[in-house]
A and B are shown apart, each in its own frame.
Chain A
């Protein structure tokens, strides 16, 4: 019997290793193999937790199924360090989304949710359906990046995916609840923004005066609650 036959016994698979690359002498990017999923993301969180305690690691910066290590000094033996990370990757258990649950009241639609109708028409749904679908989801904070305290939220219902705009809205207000591709998030700064605004929340997402300045952290879960609907 050949293992190429479909009824061959399961003999295990050789799991791929992460891709490791340098960004100069003080940063190393570790990218999980394969497609995006929350199990791989959980392994990234666990890897980041572990390597953050290693000497010479200033911080571990979590991305979407990847983590960048920033060093205090250029590592003496870069190949050995890479090998240690690969070895750790294969044995570290995936961390669950075991962070805190954040509830965010949202004013859906209205002046600040100016893209709600476009999202609804692309989805072929009513605006109320978009609001219901968005507010029924439970989202996972994959990473905090791009601007201070901005969480990349996973778990959007595919029915309301909406591509980013090719021309960003010029002055999107901080607190705007947005959809960008298959992700949702809450804008932290008032600035140009290519995501689609469907509502607004008055939650303080970031406070630089606090030692832990970001409300959202990787592994937290987020629920959006309907505070008010303005159609």
Chain B
């Protein structure tokens, strides 16, 4: 068990999301940076899909009630355990009564706390992810609050198993699209259904604009500012399914990227879709930061996942080997 001591707002229990129930109107939820969650779980010998805490407001503090292995991954942050510095992307052992304190990240938006054995809340519709709008999943379908006691499952490994080892973070280990510069995150996208309805000038503006992620952005979606993409004639779309990463253009012209908590349906013209290999990077982009889009083909988008999959596979193999020593 762990006890939450301090959690300002919007920190929730998430796994890799609720699959296969969009047809009932249920959005997937799930970690905004699924690679960071998977790394934490791999370090601890958990299932990739074990649930952790997605922390997006700080300072966040918790107390361990039993000896527990844990890892902190995701955004670049500082943290302490019983007053001593904790290395991020590292498998660490906490003793009962130790307090873990995490401060606001220098870079990135979300820190993931994972625990040996994973967070043991009931699965709802196949997932432990919190569905805030529906009020189910996670801990009673809500955000974490001070005083909450969160159950941790039994670790698949012996308590005296090895810990104290780590890994290079994925943004260092995995090549992405070359950054435009340090301040702009370059995101690879494929064209989507209504791309051709936009004039050449509007298409060019989409690619050349440095977009700002506005303050009105959250797990549901990112609203972008910095330009307006308008159609010569408005199109009426019938309500249809959408997935995370779709870039929609409402009549006002400022694009919206749907994220983990997005509705299952949309009706705005779709200009593009963020590829899976970059969606986790976007999940770490904070409001106020800048992004730019680059186009890739379907084949390149598929191929771009290979380095991500390889990174996770190698890290899991190494962690398993180390644990078996």
Interface size on B, residues (CB 8 A): 38
Select the stretch in A90-98, A126-134, A145-153, A221-229 that faces chain B. A145-153
Residues of the B chain whose Cβ atoms lie less than 8 Å from the Cβ of A24: 190, 243, 245-246, 273-276, 301
Q: What is the distance, in angstroms, from A225's C-beta to the closest C-beta of chain B? A: 24
Q: What is the distance, in angstroms, from A152's C-beta to the closest C-beta of chain B? A: 7
Report which of B241, B263, B298 forms a contact with A22, defined as CB distance below 8 A.
B298
Residues of the A chain whose Cβ atoms lie less than 8 Å from the Cβ of B156: none
Residues of the B chain whose Cβ atoms lie less than 8 Å from the Cβ of A123: none
Report which of A27, A148, A212 forms a contact with B25, defined as CB distance below 8 A.
A148
CB within 8 Å of B: which A134-161 residues: 143-150, 152
Residues of the B chain whose Cβ atoms lie less than 8 Å from the Cβ of A29: 193, 240-241
- Contacts A24-B301, A68-B241, A70-B243 aside, 11 further interface pairs with beta carbons under 8 A come to A22-B190, A22-B192, A59-B21, A59-B23, A61-B241, A63-B240, A146-B239, A148-B131, A150-B25, A206-B25, A208-B124
CB within 8 Å of B: which A175-201 residues: 188-189, 191
Q: Is A56 an interface residue (CB 8 A)?
A: no
A149 and B20 contacting across the interface, CB-CB below 8 Å: no
Contact of A145 with B241 at beta-carbon distance under 8 Å, contacts A21-B192, A22-B192, A24-B274 already known: yes
B276 and A26 contacting across the interface, CB-CB below 8 Å: yes
A25 and B25 contacting across the interface, CB-CB below 8 Å: no
Residues of the B chain whose Cβ atoms lie less than 8 Å from the Cβ of A25: 190, 275-276, 298, 301-302, 305
Closest to B246 in A: A23
The 6 A-B pairs at the shortest CB distance, nearest first, are namely: A68-B241, A21-B193, A61-B241, A63-B240, A145-B265, A24-B273
Contact of A213 with B125 at beta-carbon distance under 8 Å, contacts A23-B246, A24-B190, A31-B240 already known: yes
Can you report 18 A-B residue pairs in the complex whose CB atoms are below 8 A from each other?
Answer: A24-B274, A25-B305, A59-B20, A74-B305, A144-B25, A145-B265, A146-B25, A146-B239, A148-B133, A149-B25, A188-B25, A189-B133, A208-B131, A208-B134, A208-B137, A212-B24, A213-B21, A214-B24
Residues of the A chain whose Cβ atoms lie less than 8 Å from the Cβ of B238: 31, 36, 63-66
Contact of A147 with B136 at beta-carbon distance under 8 Å, contacts A26-B243, A68-B242 already known: no
Residues of the B chain whose Cβ atoms lie less than 8 Å from the Cβ of A64: 238-240
Q: Is B264 an interface residue (CB 8 A)?
A: yes
Complex CA gap A103/B20 in Å reads 28
Q: Is A17 an interface residue (CB 8 A)?
A: no
Could you mark each residue 84-101 of chain B with 1 if its beta carbon is under 8 Å from any beta carbon of chain A, else 0?
Answer: 000000000000000000
Residues of the B chain whose Cβ atoms lie less than 8 Å from the Cβ of A68: 22, 240-243
Q: What is the distance, in angstroms, from B145's C-beta to the closest C-beta of chain A? A: 20
Residues of the A chain whose Cβ atoms lie less than 8 Å from the Cβ of B265: 63, 143, 145-146
Q: Is B19 an interface residue (CB 8 A)?
A: yes
Residues of the A chain whose Cβ atoms lie less than 8 Å from the Cβ of B240: 29, 31, 63-64, 66, 68
Contact of A58 with B20 at beta-carbon distance under 8 Å, contacts A23-B192, A25-B301, A146-B265 already known: yes
Could you mark each residue 211-222 of chain A with 1 if its beta carbon is under 8 Å from any beta carbon of chain B, else 0?
Answer: 011100000000
Complex CA gap A25/B57 in Å reads 32
A60 and B24 contacting across the interface, CB-CB below 8 Å: no
Q: What is the distance, in angstroms, from A171's C-beta to the closest C-beta of chain B? A: 14
Residues of the A chain whose Cβ atoms lie less than 8 Å from the Cβ of B26: 148, 208, 213
Complex CA gap A85/B312 in Å reads 34
Complex CA gap A143/B133 in Å reads 20
Q: What is the distance, in angstroms, from B107's C-beta to the closest C-beta of chain A? A: 26
Q: Is B316 an interface residue (CB 8 A)?
A: no
Closest to A25 in B: B301
Q: Is B223 an interface residue (CB 8 A)?
A: no
Residues of the A chain whose Cβ atoms lie less than 8 Å from the Cβ of B273: 22-24, 27
Q: Is A209 an interface residue (CB 8 A)?
A: yes
Complex CA gap A70/B24 in Å reads 14
Complex CA gap A214/B32 in Å reads 26
Q: Is B270 an interface residue (CB 8 A)?
A: yes
Q: What is the distance, in angstroms, from A194's C-beta to the closest C-beta of chain B? A: 12
Complex CA gap A58/B23 in Å reads 11
Q: What is the distance, in angstroms, from B24's C-beta to the closest C-beta of chain A? A: 4
Residues of the B chain whose Cβ atoms lie less than 8 Å from the Cβ of A143: 239, 265
A58 and B193 contacting across the interface, CB-CB below 8 Å: no
Closest to B274 in A: A24
Complex CA gap A46/B2 in Å reads 49
